[in-house]
């Protein structure tokens, strides 16, 4: 939209394309959710100087790597100040005179105050203005926002597509690493790239093993597996194991139903979804407990026992 060579857009070479690539285009506005740690707020709860600074750095990082997976420590929000600033910028109009583009990422974490600040402009956007609102959880987006938008869905990328693109970007990586990353990425290219760049192979392998042992209810081998990593007291590894287990549960549950409608999924998969939901919840709780330095052994044993109860209960029902 911003390229100066519309016949060949994006040409990646014109003044405008280069500005976009350098996060310096005056008509491209990007807003990300942030966690407002105390040091990023001033006394009235608004963004402080330091907060604005942190935001600018985050945006630059994200533009440098569009696939960057942001990790938040705490609940991310889209502060109303950012939306107000965005409104001003958009109402002011395009500086280059071509178009204005506003990208608001993670729109699902938007609270009422920020959403209200956006509604009017979404309803009557200035000419030549495009708003792109993104989310992985449409059900969590305020209905007033959804009703003013045109929804465009993106499906899961097939693993082969992910591997092909990974090969282009990371030619030096082993094929098996790329395949494993694609397998665990739940159809998200960004997640796959993150897995290649920060290998969590040990975590992925251990997660898969623990999952299979839970299915087999083999406590003896589970104990041996726990012994292989608990003594190192590596909280990050342990956390990664549960995160990998969540990817694993999701991939297994959703891989073959990504084309189905929500209604079909409800009809066909009620029980599977219920089970997966419980399992994801168990893993999520383990991740949180590990984040607040809970006892690793107790967290792991509790989580795996609960997971087995869910899986075992299911088995008994089907018998
Ligand atoms: Zn261009």
Listing DSSP states for 94-142 in one string gives -SSSS-EEEEE--GGG--HHHHHHHHHHHHSPPTTEEEEE--S-GGGS-
The span from the CA of 306 to the CA of 203, in Å, is 20
Residue 193 Cα to ligand 1 middle (Å): 26
The alpha carbon of 245 and the centre of ligand 1 are apart by a number of angstroms equal to 42
Once rounded to an integer, what is the mean pLDDT over residues 107-124?
89
What is the per-residue pLDDT for 76? 77
Q: From ligand 1's centre to the CA of 18, what distance in Å?
A: 7
Mean pLDDT across the stretch 178-205? 77
CA of 99 to the centre of ligand 1 (A): 13
Q: Compute the distance from residue 20 Cα to the ligand 1 centre, in Å.
A: 9
Whole-angstrom distance, CA of residue 49 vs CA of residue 70? 22
pLDDT category of residue 236 using cuts at 50, 70 and 90? confident
Helix (H, G, I), strand (E, B) or coil at 11: coil
Position 4 scores a pLDDT of: 92
Ligand 1 centre and the CA of 6: distance in Å?
8
Which has more confidence, 175 or 262?
175
Tokens matching residue 140: 């969590």
- pLDDT at residue 267 tops 60: no
Ligand 1 centroid vs 197 CA: distance in angstroms? Answer: 30
- What are the distances in angstroms from CA 41 to CA 51, 69, 87, 117? 6, 24, 21, 20
What integer is the mean pLDDT of 175-181? 83
Quote the ligand 1 centre to 25 CA distance (angstroms): 12
Highest mean pLDDT among 15-29, 224-238, 303-317: 15-29
Compute the distance between CA of residue 111 and CA of residue 45 in angstroms, rounded to an integer.
15
DSSP 243: H
Distance 116 CA to ligand 1 centre (A): 34
CA 8–ligand 1 middle distance (angstroms):
7
**Chain-wide mean pLDDT for the chain?**
82
Q: For the structural domain made of 6-146, what CATH number should be given?
A: 3.40.50.300
What pLDDT is recorded for position 316?
37
Both tokens of residue 90?
Answer: 């958009």
Please indicate whether residue 107 or residue 229 has the higher confidence score (pLDDT): 107
By C-alpha distance, which of 185, 230, 200, 191 is closest to 69?
191
Give the integer Cα–Cα distance in Å for 129 and 226: 54
The alpha carbon of 16 and the centre of ligand 1 are apart by a number of angstroms equal to: 6
Residue 67 Cα to ligand 1 middle (Å): 21
Q: What 3-state DSSP class applies to 21? A: helix
CA of 7 to the centre of ligand 1 (A): 10
pLDDT digits (tens, 9 = 90+) for 68-102: 766 666 677 888 888 999 999 999 888 888 899 99
Q: Which is more confident, 196 or 29?
A: 29
pLDDT at position 237, please?
80
Residue 315's pLDDT band (cuts 50, 70, 90): very low
Give the list of residues 6+ apart from residue 153 with CB closer than 8 angstroms, or none: none
Average pLDDT over residues 303-319: 70
Please give the distance, rounded to the nearest whole angstrom, from the Cα atom of residue 24 to the centre of ligand 1. Answer: 14
Supply the pTM of this predicted model: 0.62
Return the CA Rg of the chain: 22
pLDDT for the residue numbered 304: 93
């Amino acid at each position: 939209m911003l390229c100066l060579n519309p016949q060949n857009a994006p040409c990646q070479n014109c003044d405008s394309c280069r500005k976009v690539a350098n996060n310096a285009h005056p008509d491209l506005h990007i807003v990300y959710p942030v966690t407002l740690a105390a040091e990023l707020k001033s006394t009235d709860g608004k963004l402080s100087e330091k907060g604005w600074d942190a935001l600018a750095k985050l945006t630059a990082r994200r533009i440098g790597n569009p696939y960057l997976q942001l990790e938040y420590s705490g609940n991310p929000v889209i502060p109303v100040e950012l939306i107000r600033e965005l409104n001003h910028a958009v109402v002011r109009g395009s500086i280059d005179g071509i178009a204005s583009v506003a990208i608001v990422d993670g729109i699902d974490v938007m609270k009422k105050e920020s959403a209200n600040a956006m509604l009017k402009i979404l309803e009557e956007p200035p000419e030549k203005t495009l708003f792109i609102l993104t989310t992985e959880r449409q059900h969590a987006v305020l209905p007033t926002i959804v009703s003013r938008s045109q929804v465009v869905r993106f499906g899961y990328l097939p693993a082969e597509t992910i591997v092909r693109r990974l090969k282009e970007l990371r030619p030096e990586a082993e094929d098996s690493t790329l395949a494993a990353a694609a397998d665990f990425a739940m159809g998200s290219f960004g997640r796959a790239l993150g897995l290649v760049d920060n290998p969590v192979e040990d975590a992925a392998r251990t997660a898969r093993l623990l999952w299979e042992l839970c299915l087999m209810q083999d406590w003896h081998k589970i104990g041996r597996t726990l012994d292989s990593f608990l003594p190192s007291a590596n909280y990050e590894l342990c956390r990664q194991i549960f995160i990998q287990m969540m990817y694993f549960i999701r991939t297994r549950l959703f891989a073959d139903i990504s084309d189905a409608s929500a209604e079909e999924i409800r009809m066909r998969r009620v029980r599977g979804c219920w089970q997966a939901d419980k399992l994801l919840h168990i893993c999520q709780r383990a991740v949180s407990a590990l984040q607040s330095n809970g006892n690793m052994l107790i967290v792991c044993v509790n989580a795996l026992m609960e997971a087995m109860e869910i899986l075992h209960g299911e088995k008994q029902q089907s018998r």
